[in-house]
Amino acid sequence: MTKMTLGAHPYFLGFDQLERMIEQAAKSGTEGYPPFNIEQVSEFAYRITLAVAGFSEDDLAITIEDRKLVVRGRQPKPDDSRVFLHRGIAGRQFMKSFVLADGVDVVGARTENGLLHVDLERSEPDPVVQTIQITKG
């Protein structure tokens, strides 16, 4: 039995990029740190919220790389003069990535009470009807 891929189906022409995006999403960011939520805040708006307690705005970076939203957190060098009797707060670097569909754009990001909120909007494409001219060959 052969596996038929989405891009190989005769009715789905040009969807090989979608298949690559699905594979990329399955591979990216499966580790659980930092914990995050994804919520739909309206019909065309989403919010990704990451728990980034201990990170300042300067420790965080948000980029879009090839339709992939990447959030990185870097902690400053630890202060060796501090002596911990118990250290239960994670202080490690992280990288979390989310694959964005075409038409989904980042409209803002802010921190609040140890949470990083990244707001996204999906534009609704206008329906297009196109007539193709048939020529004699």
From first to last of the 137 residues of the chain, give the pLDDT tens digit: 556 666 566 777 777 777 776 776 666 655 688 999 999 999 999 999 999 988 999 999 999 998 899 999 998 777 788 888 998 876 789 999 998 988 999 999 999 999 999 999 999 878 889 999 999 97
CATH code of the domain containing 52:
2.60.40.790
Please check whether residues 58 and 10 belong to one and the same domain. no
92 and 46, same domain (yes or no): yes
DSSP 11: T
pTM: 0.72
Q: Are residues 55 and 98 in the same domain?
A: yes
**What is the layout of strands, in order, in the sheet containing 68-73?**
60-64, 68-73, 94-99
Q: How far apart are CA 42 and CA 66, in angstroms?
A: 25
At 27, which helix (H) or strand (E)? Answer: helix 16-27
Distance CA 70, CA 61 (A): 8
9 shares its domain with 38: no
Note every long-range contact of 7-11, with CB atoms under 8 Å and residues 24 or more positions apart, other chains counting: none
Q: Do 38 and 71 share a domain, yes or no?
A: yes
Question: Residues 80, 69: contact at Cβ < 8 Å?
Answer: no
Closest CA to 122 of 47, 68, 61: 47
**Considering the domain boundaries, does residue 111 fall inside one?**
yes
Q: Which residue has 């979608």 as its token pair?
A: 18
Whether omega before 35 lies within 30 degrees of 0, making that bond cis, reads no
